[in-house]
Amino acid sequence: MLESFFSPRGVAVVGASQNPGKLGYGVARNLVLSGYAGAIHFVNPHGGRLFERPIYADLASVPDPVDLAMILIPGAAVPEALQACGRRGIKAVIIGSGGFRETGPEGQALEERCREVARREGIRVLGPNCIGLLDTHLPIDTTFLPLPGPIPGDIAFLSHSGAICEAVIDWARGQGFGLSRLVSLGNQMDLTEGEVIGPTAADPHTRVVAMYLEGVGDGAAFVEQVRRVTRIKPVIAIKVGRSRGGREAVASHTGALAGQDAAYEAAFRKAGVIRADTTEEVFDWARALAWCPLPGGRRVAVLTNAGGPGAIAADALEANGLEQARLSDTTQQQLRQLLPPAASLRNPIDMLAGAGPSEYAAALGMLLADEGVDAAMVILVPPPMTTAAEVAGAVIPLIRSAEKPVVMVLMGEDLITHAARLLRQARIPDYRFPERAASALRVLADRARRLQEPEEEPMVVAGIESGAAGSILAAARTGANGFVDPQTAAAVIASYGIAVPPATVAQSEAEAAEAAARIGWPVVAKLISPDRSHKSDIGGVVVGLRSRDEVRQAYRQIVAGAQEVGAAVGGVLVQSMANEGQEVIIGVVRDEQFGPLVMFGSGGVEVEGLRDVAFALAPLTAADGRALLDSTWAGRRLAGFRSLAAGDREAVVDALTRLGRLVTDYPQVIEIEINPLRVLPPGKGALALDVRLRLADRS
């Protein structure tokens, strides 16, 4: 069905206009001038002729072949036009018209009517409120954007914004790179970015897919659809709106920290999407991925004719997680024979200002031949005795034939314009500053590493008593915000194989003292309150209790503190106290768009202040769990740091996996937080010291 959008046999423009000021004229013009070889039909009840073609009064009069319609008429008339498409047998429609849900409730209702008609007629719809699509290689252009359009290239661009499409086309021409396809998604009444990305990436002319996203239609489907694509071709996305709150904050660290952007970050990671922070980064990286071979590692050699830019490059490489390549003795000896005595032969290699085309070409050849070099960054400040274009001309053949990626940094503006043009014509990425080049090399290295990683299925975990958890949850009573009591929460996670220390609920000083003696010293006493989430904020946690008298005093202190602030008291939890190990936080929160998100990070009372947390979509693979640890200081610290003993990282990964499995099995569990999870020394496991579990409203 989607083939009709990208390789139609014939196109009908509904709303074609003879008025050059109308969008219907722009679409007709672009379609004709694009060189599209299929049938082109114009439809307007006023009739006439346009671009030496007849204008038909209605779709019924349009001759075969026609399997794609571009609709550009007032929004109120679109439902009837869709019905006409159905009668004519057209199953692919682009609605460029506006006036739908982007305008408010009335527009939303109109869009719903269009969706109903399209479904009834078996029509797939791109838009509404979009500018259409184009393919520079077919070629076809159904947009109304000003000419000239993009030059043919190998980067596809999908966008929720039509204005961004227009800007990118013009900017790409100025930057000297082309597009293969461009798709404006609009309101996504029917077709979503996830559905469109598959056929876009399948295009043989497309090497990279870039996306501008304001949201996604179906989170789970998006991850699955895009994940299949990213194993074959790289996908880069910029997601806007990250500063806006994604959900109403609930009374837990996990819920407060897991905003909408955290969900997108986790979804992109799961799907293999390379996330950019700026539009410039999108195309910096896209050009590198489209034009460069992937490196075998992260070791980069820097070749420059000025020391300052080389120092900037060295800092930028380290900031991007890359390494400065260590040159072999042979390479250094060759460079010594080539370059003047004052040249720096340590990476970065500073050939000095007098370096010309022959020195650049010879030195670059030596670096690329070094087995300790995985990639190269060539920096060129306009040389005093030759031109940047001559240097570019000397290195282009070498770079084009290299099996390692090389990126160029042309520092300047007027004096490097010709050199930049030569490099772009040769499909060699150029950047104005080393920082941008380093980030592009990092993306190449990350892409290479991802392709080397095997596809993993979610971890299979043993020792799960799913039925027991279901029975506990069915009988659970909830308090404020839907949280269950601590004993119930602990019992649920224990049924999924997460270790919890012995604990007893006491309703009096005497019960607390007896419980502590039974459990064994030392113990911790914790307030149980249905309306207080963070007990430590009101003095509701007392640790290190080693006698009956200390437990009685702690009980009185906890109850008095709760009563002073008007907190309800449901008892005091007396729990065995773990003395060794590191404290972290793990949790799960259910995102409306993408489903359950598993969280890991620095625990304790400062978790929201530190914000050292990371999220991943459940269910988890072993690689997902380890990536959560590796992306946070809390996780890296578990390997041991100075006087801090190492912790059982694999036990943490196991606990994270079990949490993800629990919320996947039981959708009514919308939030879990274990803070802290006490991570014991390697091989000794981890203990959930404090557990909070929230259920969906059952009303």
Which amino acid, residue 194?
G
CA dihedral 231, 233, 234, 235 (to 10 degrees): -100
Nearest to 291 by CA among 443, 173, 170: 443
Whether the bond into 682 is cis, omega within 30 of 0: no
Q: pLDDT digit string (tens) for 622-641?
A: 889 999 999 999 999 998 88
- How many CB atoms lie under 10 A from the CB of residue 467? 9
Residue at which a domain ends, from 272, 291, 310: 291
CA distance 689 to 578: 8
* CATH assignment of the domain containing 46: 3.40.50.720
Are 596 and 555 members of one domain? no
pLDDT, residue 605, reads: 61
| 45 found inside a domain | yes
What is the domain range of residue 521? 502-576
| 658 found inside a domain | yes
Degrees to nearest 5, angle at CA 629 with 625 and 633? 165
Structure token pair of residue 370: 């070094």
103, pLDDT greater than 50: yes
| 259 found inside a domain | yes
Are 287 and 297 members of one domain? no
Residue at which a domain ends, from 388, 418, 452: 452
249, pLDDT greater than 60: no
Are 77 and 179 members of one domain? no
* CATH assignment of the domain containing 588: 3.30.470.20
Contact 480/531 with Cβ under 8 angstroms?
yes
| 496 found inside a domain | no
CA distance 297 to 282: 22
Are 149 and 125 members of one domain? no
Angle between helices 78-88 and 105-121 (to 10 degrees): 10
Nearest to 402 by CA among 365, 429, 430, 438: 365
- Could you tell me which residues come within 8 angstroms of residue 116 by beta carbon, excluding any fewer than 6 positions away? none
Provide the sign of the torsion angle of the four alpha carbons 341, 344, 345, 350, taken in this order. negative
Are 21 and 99 members of one domain? yes
Query: If 0-12 CB within 10 Å is exposed, 13-18 middle and 19+ buried, where does residue 401 land?
Result: exposed
Strands (E), 514-621: 523-527, 541-545, 572-576, 582-591, 595-602, 613-617
Name the residue with tokens 């598993």: 598
Structure token pair of residue 664: 């996947």
Tell me the average pLDDT across 142-152.
95
Contact 135/180 with Cβ under 8 angstroms?
yes
pLDDT, residue 462, reads: 83
Q: pLDDT digit string (tens) for 560-617?
A: 988 888 888 889 999 999 878 899 999 999 988 899 999 999 986 656 666 889 999 9
CA distance 283 to 289: 10
Name the residue with tokens 């550009």: 72
Q: How much is the CA Rg of the chain, to the nearest whole Å?
A: 31
243, pLDDT greater than 60: no
CA distances from 310 to 313, 366, 415, 438, 482 (A): 5, 18, 20, 12, 57
Tell me the average pLDDT across 145-173.
94
pLDDT, residue 580, reads: 84
Are 202 and 285 members of one domain? yes
Which amino acid, residue 555?
Y
CA distance 4 to 484: 53
247, pLDDT greater than 60: no
Q: pLDDT digit string (tens) for 401-460?
A: 999 999 999 999 999 999 999 999 999 999 999 999 999 999 999 999 999 988 877 777
Are 298 and 446 members of one domain? yes
| 490 found inside a domain | no
Provide the sign of the torsion angle of the four alpha carbons 250, 253, 257, 262, taken in this order. negative
CA distance 12 to 123: 15
pLDDT, residue 246, reads: 34
Lowest mean pLDDT, pick from 544-548, 549-553, 609-613: 609-613
Tell me the average pLDDT across 467-486.
89
Structure token pair of residue 183: 């798709």
Degrees to nearest 5, angle at CA 279 with 277 and 282? 80
* CATH assignment of the domain containing 540: 3.30.1490.20
Are 332 and 222 members of one domain? no
Are 252 and 346 members of one domain? no
What number of CA atoms fall less than 13 Å from residue 535's CA on the CB side?
Answer: 26
How many folded domains does the chain comprise?
A: 5
Provide the sign of the torsion angle of the four alpha carbons 222, 223, 228, 231, taken in this order. positive
